[in-house]
Amino acid sequence: MILKGSQRSGGKQLGLHLLKTEENEHVEIHEVRGFVADDVMGAMKEAYALSRGTKCTKYLFSVSLNPPADESVRAEVFERACDTIEKRLGLEGQPRMIVFHEKEGRRHAHAVWSRIDADSMTARPLPYFKRALNGIAKELYLENGWAMPDGFRDSRLRDPRNFTLDEWQQAKRAGVDPREVKGAIQQAWAMSDNGPAFARALEERGLFLAQGDRRGHVALTIDGDVFAVARMAGLKSKEVTAKLGDPKEFRSVGDTMRHIGETVAPRLTRYINEAKRIAHNAMKPLTERKEMMKEQHSQERKTLADKQRERHVSEQAERSGRLRKGVAGAWDILTGRYFKTRKRNEMEAAFGIERDRVQRHDLIAAQMKDRQSLQREIEQTRERHARQMLGLYQNAARYRRMTREGELTRDGSERGRERSAASRGLELGR
């Protein structure tokens, strides 16, 4: 399991974080040991009060224990891990607390130790604790037969899915197919009698008519790619000019790009708002299912705890009834029957405790399996809509950039861009 530790102060803030139910679906206080108080906030106050008798400011040592997401890990594994940590780091005998968190189908633990030794009133030193935790984590993967992350085997091996959001979700946009453009231009040419009619026909097909820098009439895609009308229609420039008129009557490439940006960007803003609405509606039933599952799981755990408590009381009464009192009890002691009965009671009590822990673990494991199944649906929905939103935002940014560049070109400060776009269009036209 992944172990992350830190020396810190702020016991109150840490305690509130450990008990926070807004971010965690289930919070379980598993152990509060070595403190007078039996609750987390009381233990945090004790640790702080003890630290006031020393010069130590970072009087707590906090470790998060994160097992693999698809593994069902019993509480005893977490306890052994904590025992190993405190033995390796010199924290044996120090007060500690363990709290379990469950969120989005994953179960992990937080362990917190007080660093202050009450006998010497000094803080236990923790040299190179990160290196020690890394070694313990590797051992836990090997001992439990879990698949070890690549990063543990070689620090140069990293999961590419841990890159930034932009790197992970960058949309792949297909390039324009010159054959489709050629067909659209030829269709618009065949159905038009003059320049304005040809321009309207092109816009119906997602193309815009403009004045080229050197080639007369050109058609622009919404992505700014430039194609010569004469070449695409299989005509001579004179024939195109005779039908469409003087190219100077139409916008320049730069102005046309600005026009495209001004036309398309507002539409994309509406698309983004619509995509957000769709994403919200898609997540709403999943969120409702998550809340219903949370309540159901909490009720199932409470029901199990109540039944186990009732059974414990009943079994304890039955075991107590086996120990006779008075003269009969004295006779049992003399004959040795009392000690046999007490040994039997102790064994049954130990078996009962283990039985209850197994039942609780099995219930939690089954619930987490259901929660993980729902979480996969949630993550797939999030990822699908995130890709869509990212693509729309990228497109909107591109068209706004086209608007700005078109304005610069119109002012004459970037005339070279038109020539570059024209050259690119020539290559695509071939």
Q: Beta 96-103 vs 106-114: how paired, if at all?
A: antiparallel
H-helix or E-strand containing 6? strand 2-8
DSSP readout, 229-264?
HHHHHT--HHHHHHHH--GGGS-BHHHHHHHHHHHH
Residues ≥6 apart with Cβ < 8 Å to 141: 1, 147, 148, 152
Per-residue pLDDT of the chain (430 residues; tens, 9 = 90+): 899 999 999 999 999 999 988 888 899 999 999 999 999 999 999 999 999 999 999 999 999 999 988 888 899 999 999 999 999 999 999 999 999 999 888 899 999 999 999 999 999 999 999 999 988 998 898 888 887 775 565 443 333 334 343 333 332 333 455 666 787 888 889 888 898 899 888 877 778 888 887 668 998 877 677 888 888 888 888 888 899 888 888 888 888 878 777 776 677 777 777 777 888 888 888 888 888 999 999 999 999 999 999 999 999 999 999 998 898 989 988 899 999 999 999 999 999 999 999 999 999 989 988 888 888 888 888 888 877 776 777 666 666 666 666 555 544 444 444 444 434 443 333 3
Burial 80-117 (b: 16+ CB within 10 A, else e): ebbebbbeebbbeebbbbbbbbbeebbbbbbbbbbbbb
Model-level pTM? 0.52
Residues 177, 165: Cα–Cα separation, whole Å = 29
Do residues 319 and 348 touch, judged by C-beta distance below 8 A?
yes
* Domain made up of 2-158: CATH architecture: 2-Layer Sandwich (3.30)
Q: Is 89 helix (H, G, I), strand (E, B) or coil?
A: coil
Amino acid identity at 266:
P
Do residues 100 and 106 touch, judged by C-beta distance below 8 A?
no
Do residues 406 and 259 touch, judged by C-beta distance below 8 A?
yes
Q: What is the dihedral of CA 252, 255, 258, 263, to 10 degrees?
A: -90
Residues 368, 105: Cα–Cα separation, whole Å = 5
Residues 87, 59: Cα–Cα separation, whole Å = 18
